[in-house]
Structure 1
Amino acid sequence: MRWRGSGSTPPQGRYPNVKSKSCALLPLLLLASACSNKAPADNAAVVQDSAKAATIPLVISSKGKLHRFDVETAVTPEEQEQGLMFRTDLPNDGGMVFPMKPPRTASFWMKNTVIPLDMLFVAPDGTIAFIGANRKPYSREPASAGVPVAGVVELRGGRAAELGLAEGDKVQWGYCAVPGAATTQPSAAPSFCP
């Protein structure tokens, strides 16, 4: 589980008093799974399938250059909790954006994240407030800008350094990241146009 919060410690468990009830249900669950002709779903395989999710454009303006990405969005609490966990690959022009409406202080960790990631914390004015560079897989050490952010962008680990991205660079995503499209917004796509 990827915990995103206000900087306090991660929750210790969702249902702390369920142990005895779970033990009582265990024999029934084992019997039901033995009678099923379906193979159990592999968590990693299910997550890898979500790698084919719809993407939106994201643009980072750095030192006079535009760097374009096609990123997945993590909007719901469930999507934000899942993030890029269990992924084994991320393309150079891929990633994920976590919009924060309203802007808030966010803290991200790498639990169950197999590949290193760069985390770009985007201030409400669209500038990169902090880069958590090349975050170590499986680490529970939180990364945070320490200030309210409008979103967090996760890219393949080391990509920010390869492109020369720095704090202060400008980020946009969604319809405003497409040249000439800033006047017409698609209904469902999250966008950020500071």
Structure 2
Amino acid sequence: MALCISLFPHPSQAEGVAQRDLPRTTLNAGMYLIQVQVASTAEQRATGLMYRTDLRDNEGMLFIFEKAQMQCFWMKNTQIPLTAAFIADDGTVVNTVDMQPRTTNSHCSTKPVRYVLEVRQGWLAQHGVGPGKRITGGPFGKN
């Protein structure tokens, strides 16, 4: 999966092991459900979806940061093309970016955010989820 840019390697990065046992929650994108794993620690965020070879269309990972700031992700060691949605505290999508596997190009939020949702590339566009749309459920509460 994409990861937050970090100067210190994480043990699972070196081992090439995909993390799969993270807490889970369900998010709503309009009438669509997204089953997400929640990466809320520095170690979980650093590994993200790296080393995964599969991701279902209605699955993803929600990255939760301690405070709103400019968030930048890259795709080193990520095998699946992903789209990242940078999300404000109220669940509003600030911006989205498509990211290509196995690259170190930096993809950033256009303003400070605490949340980043990663899903299979194209899922958000296919379901009409882009800037200004609201995500609910999980940390964003109900409609």
TM-score (norm 2): 0.84
145, 150, 167: which is aligned to 2:114?
150
Task: Tell me the residue number matched to 1:33.
Answer: none
Gaps of 5+ in 2: none
Residue deviations 1:168-194 (CA, integer Å, cap 9, x gap): 1101232xxxxxxxxxxxxxxxx2338
RMSD of aligned residue pairs (Cα, Å): 2.3
1:105 paired with 2:74, answer: no
Structure 1 residue 146: deviation in Å?
Answer: 2.6
Q: In 2, Cα distance between the equivalents of 1:117 and 1:60?
A: 17
Give the fraction of aligned pairs with identical amino acids, expressed as a percent.
31
3-state SS of paired residue (1:80): helix
1:81 paired with 2:46, answer: yes
After TM superposition, the runs of 4+ consecutive aligned structure 1 residues lying more than 4 A away are none
Q: In 2, Cα distance between the equivalents of 1:131 and 1:166?
A: 7
1:172 paired with 2:141, answer: no
Task: Tell me the residue number matched to 1:93.
Answer: 58
101, 105, 124: which is aligned to 1:160?
124
Q: In 2, Cα distance between the equivalents of 1:59 and 1:137?
A: 26
1:51 paired with 2:20, answer: yes
Shift in CA distance, 139/127, structure 1 to aligned 2, threshold 3 Å: same
Which is strand-richer, 1 or 2?
Answer: 2
Q: In 1, Cα distance between the equivalents of 2:42 and 2:110?
A: 21
* Matched ranges for 1:98-137 at <5 A: 98-133=63-98, 135-137=99-101
141, 145, 162: which is aligned to 2:105?
141
Q: Which has the larger radius of gyration?
A: 1
Shift in CA distance, 77/53, structure 1 to aligned 2, threshold 3 Å: closer
Q: In 2, Cα distance between the equivalents of 1:52 and 1:77?
A: 15
Gaps of 5+ in 1: 15-41, 175-190
Q: In 2, Cα distance between the equivalents of 1:43 and 1:51?
A: 14
Structure 1 residue 128: deviation in Å?
Answer: 0.5
Shift in CA distance, 91/2, structure 1 to aligned 2, threshold 3 Å: closer
1:192 paired with 2:140, answer: yes
Residue deviations 1:53-112 (CA, integer Å, cap 9, x gap): 442111123xxxx22111000001000000000000101111000012321210000011
Which is helix-richer, 1 or 2?
Answer: 1
